[in-house]
Structure 1
Amino acid sequence: MLRAIVFDKDGTLFDFHETWSGWAATALDTLAKGDRALVAQLSDAIGYDLVLGHFRSDSPAIAGTSAEIAVLLAPYLPDWEEEALLLELNLLAETVTLAEATPLKPLMAELGARNLYLGVATNDSEEGARRQLADAGIAEDVDLVLGYDSGFGAKPDPGMLLAFCDHFTLSPDEVLMVGDSTHDLRAGRAAGMQTVGVLTGVAETPELAPHADLILQDVGHLPAWLDTQRLPLRRRRASA
């Protein structure tokens, strides 16, 4: 029985390119203090195409953690300590304009009305994720938020997803993992969950298909798919 859905954040709840591609150019320019040669080096380091104005499909920034991105940028910014650079990246991320992949408030309300636990597992920081969910008006609709710094590792390892199951006393086969990257889907598979890929990130169907039980255009199609499954949804238990 399906009892919960765990979502990735960037590229899943929020359209990746619409949210992060424009922001990245400004953030890199800020870090480089307007030095165009340095901006080019920073862009190459994280797989950002300055000409097209978006991340390449093989960009390590797509599924990487903020700390991993800081490590990639640090060699080109010798005046920054990695910890300070990570803090700066997180501060710059607070300025991003979130582009919802679909209207999220009604989606979360509809899923919550089905008595499903709803979670977010992201390779972003937990604090940053909570702030962005609050900005989107859905923080109260999400039962548990886990980030790379929550103590359970980062995707594609399944630690965050297994921690979600433990928190609500769920079996992994009662949980659906929804994400836009192979990191998300591999984590779901490793945890023993069903996996759904969405096309609001960078990866396309051929890349996601080997790791997904289902691929949807975006998360807004989830309720209609759930209706076709005739799933006997069970009421929530009290959380631990």
Structure 2
Amino acid sequence: MPVAAILFDKDGTLFEFGATWESWARAFLLRVTGNDPARASRIGLRIGFDMTTATFRPDSVVIAGTPAEIVAALAPNLPEIAPSDLLDRINEEAELAPQKQAVPLAGLLDDLRARGLGLGVATNDAEAPARAHLAGAGVLERFDFVAGFDSGYGAKPQPGQLLAFARLLDLAPERVVMVGDSTHDLLAGRAAGMKTVGVLTGLAREPDLAPHADVVLPDIGYLPDWL
């Protein structure tokens, strides 16, 4: 059955993961600790982030988790901040995080749309920062669908966001491709009955993604040839 639509993860797929979230982590941790580098470093380790090297561990909750899951990991170490305020600060700082496109997005998305493909974004980030990032890249209007963990469809690796996209376009799931850089993305795609494509612009490596993907590509720029 021919592919009729592509659903993208955001961070690590449309945008390089490190350029966005390493900057976010440093800024956020210093903000919530009142610019206390020693405390920021200790708390950073709770979410798998090393302030000294500005890098994440591969098992960090930030890589594929939702902001709510990040709050759960941080809250015991920041008792002076209410969890709801902590979530607001995470989302506010996320909107300000710099975005480095994995490939020039406008041209790629225009190519895909010219082929008649529907396009969407399903992220475990919140919807508002996701829309801000896409708008900042000048590509928001090229997507038919943008959903975050707080959009009412659940979060990956559950398939709710993916199935909502298929319903919106009135497509059978097997006509949709889920593209992502983490096993959460690919497991969600499999659970939804979609084709799955892994990309290597996040922190996961090919051996992590290959068991759950129809193909693993260096980046989303290889999609047109694969299609």
Same fold, judged at TM 0.5 (above): yes
The answer for the alignment partner of 1:203 in structure 2 is 204
The answer for the alignment partner of 2:18 in structure 1 is 17
**1 CA distance for matches of 2:8 and 2:95?**
20
Gap runs ≥5 in structure 2: none
The answer for the alignment partner of 2:176 in structure 1 is 175
Structure 1 counterpart SS, 2:46: helix
2:112 alignment partner AA: L
Q: Deviations over 1:41-62 (max 9, x none)?
A: 2211110122321111111110
Q: Deviations over 1:179-229 (max 9, x none)?
A: 000000000000000100000001000111110110000011111211xxx
2:57 alignment partner AA: R
Aligned 1:1-240 pairs, distance under 5 A: 1-226=2-227
- Determine what percentage of the aligned residue pairs are the same residue: 54
Deviation (angstroms), 1:37: 2.9
**2 CA distance for matches of 1:94 and 1:131?**
6
Equivalenced residue count is 226
Deviation (angstroms), 1:167: 1.2
- Conserved in 1, the CA contact under 8 Å of 2:27 and 2:93? no
**1 CA distance for matches of 2:51 and 2:209?**
26
1:175 alignment partner AA: V
CA RMSD of the aligned region, Å?
0.9
Gap runs ≥5 in structure 1: 227-240
Give the TM-score of the pair, scaled to structure 1. 0.92
Q: Deviations over 1:96-144 (max 9, x none)?
A: 1100000001011000100100000000111211111111100110110
Deviation (angstroms), 1:31: 1.1
Give the TM-score of the pair, scaled to structure 2. 0.97
**2 CA distance for matches of 1:50 and 1:205?**
27
